[in-house]
Amino acid sequence: MPLDTVYPTALIVIDMQRDFCSPGGYADQAGIDITRMRGVICLVRRLLCAARAAGLLVVHTREGHLPDLSDCPPAKMARSVAAGAPIGSPGPLGRLLVRGEQGHDFVSELCPLPDEVVIDKPGYGAFHNTALGGVLRRHAVQRLILCGVTTEVCVHSTLREAVDRGYVCTTVGDATAASQPELQAPALAMIGVEGGIFGRVCSTCEVVEALQHAQVIA
């Protein structure tokens, strides 16, 4: 019996976009070493393949804003200016973090299938001002597997939103990447405090094996 028919589970692939993973994108323009983000692409792809084979709901998220930037709060704009990569400014992949631009779209290795869910989000968390909650409720999802970038920002923001909504969460540690190497281990370590207050951390191999054997994750 497929895993999700007993314990409905969704794989949430967070922000594997050119703006965060490709030369010329937002992260690159902000001076972040994108090598770490690119380094998890192959592991996220393994998770995608296993989730698809197991029949899980697959959700891809993209952070970005409307072309007129009306959904970008002034404080967020100010932070991007301070980072040296103002949202909406021109770059080699189009306007930074703007929907419809080349940089806003997914890296070619991780393109969604036609029947998979794409959530465009204006904030760091995937539930904020999006339809994600409704999508998960319609599919009776109870458990989430999270991967993507960046660990300390959008992955953690989405994880915390999900936990507050009652989801049982597993973060795939080696399939996430932080913007700075020294942030990765603490970001993962804080998930497990107080008996796993934000769920648990697993490796890609552990999750893939569980999916292949229709075992409960988390």
Give one DSSP letter per residue of the chain, joined into a string.
--HHHHS-EEEEEE--BHHHHSTTSHHHHTT--THHHHHTHHHHHHHHHHHHHHT-EEEEEEE-B-TT-TTS-HHHHHHHHHTT--TT---TTSSTTBTTSGGGSBPGGGPPPTTSEEEEESSSSSSTTSSHHHHHHHTT--EEEEEEE-IIIIIHHHHHHHHHTT-EEEEEEEEEE-SSHHHHHHHHHGGGHHHHTT-EEE-HHHHHHHHHTT----
Please determine, for residue 85, whether its predicted confidence score (pLDDT) is greater than 90: yes
Residue 105 identity (one-letter amino acid): D
CA 47 to chain centre: 13
Domains and CATH numbers, the chain: 3-212 (3.40.50.850)
pLDDT of residue 3: 46
The model's pTM: 0.95
Going by pLDDT thresholds of 50, 70 and 90, the confidence category of residue 21 is very high
pLDDT of residue 213: 87
Going by pLDDT thresholds of 50, 70 and 90, the confidence category of residue 179 is very high
pLDDT of residue 7: 63
What is the mean pLDDT of the segment spanning 53-61? 96
Contact 61, 13 (CB under 8 A): yes
Q: What is the pLDDT of residues 128-161, one digit of tens each?
A: 999 999 999 999 999 999 999 999 999 999 999 9
Please determine, for residue 6, whether its predicted confidence score (pLDDT) is greater than 60: no
Report, as residue numbers or ranges, the catalytic residues.
Answer: 15, 121, 154
Report the chain's mean pLDDT, rounded to a whole number: 95
